[in-house]
Amino acid sequence: MFRLLSLLAASTLALSLNAQTIYKISNVTISEKDQVQNGMDVSAMIKGAEGSDRVVVFAGQAITLESRVKVSTQNVKRSSLKSSAVNAIFEIDLKVDGQKDNRRVEKVYYMDQERKSHFKEKFVFKTGNQVRVITVEFDGSLE
């Protein structure tokens, strides 16, 4: 009986250690004036409930789009609302013709709120007197 109980406890512990948080990116569009390029749907795997991961969303000849997510939780004894919060920091890196620019967006999801967000960021690249405005848009979700 003791052997069976210890085996059950060990298998439950092993399954709980393999829990992952998944950050999914979908509906990626990169637009400049009237040119629109679509990126691929990707997923980042975070081991456990907290941590970070970086994924390449789009890789073209002149444009590379990467995203990083860092997920953390809070433990506040005085507030169950704050204690249930999940903080997600999203970094969006865009490289165009050797130039790099990035954006940082922080989202806080409370209680059983749906953990989905829509991102739309504008990047401006200047080379001499030429200005390029590139808009990056995608949906992100934590699961």
Out of 3-7, 25-29, 54-58, 77-81, which region has the weakest mean confidence (pLDDT)? Answer: 3-7
User: How many domains is the chain partitioned into structurally?
Assistant: 1
Q: Which domain holds residue 85?
A: 21-142
Per-residue confidence (pLDDT) for residue 1, from 0 to 100: 45
In a domain, 12, yes or no: no
- The amino acid present at 25, given as its one-letter code, is I
pLDDT > 60? residue 11: no
In a domain, 14, yes or no: no
Name the token pair of 30.
């990169």
Of residues 41 and 7, the one with the higher pLDDT is 41
In a domain, 81, yes or no: yes
In a domain, 36, yes or no: yes
In a domain, 2, yes or no: no
In a domain, 16, yes or no: no
- The amino acid present at 44, given as its one-letter code, is A
For residues 84 and 72, is the Cβ–Cβ distance under 8 A?
Answer: no
3-state helix, strand, coil split of the chain in percent (to 5) is: 15, 65, 25
Q: What is the pTM of this model?
A: 0.74
Query: Using one digit for the tens of pLDDT, what is the confidence trace for 35-93?
Result: 999 988 998 888 877 888 888 988 888 899 998 888 887 766 666 666 677 888 899 99
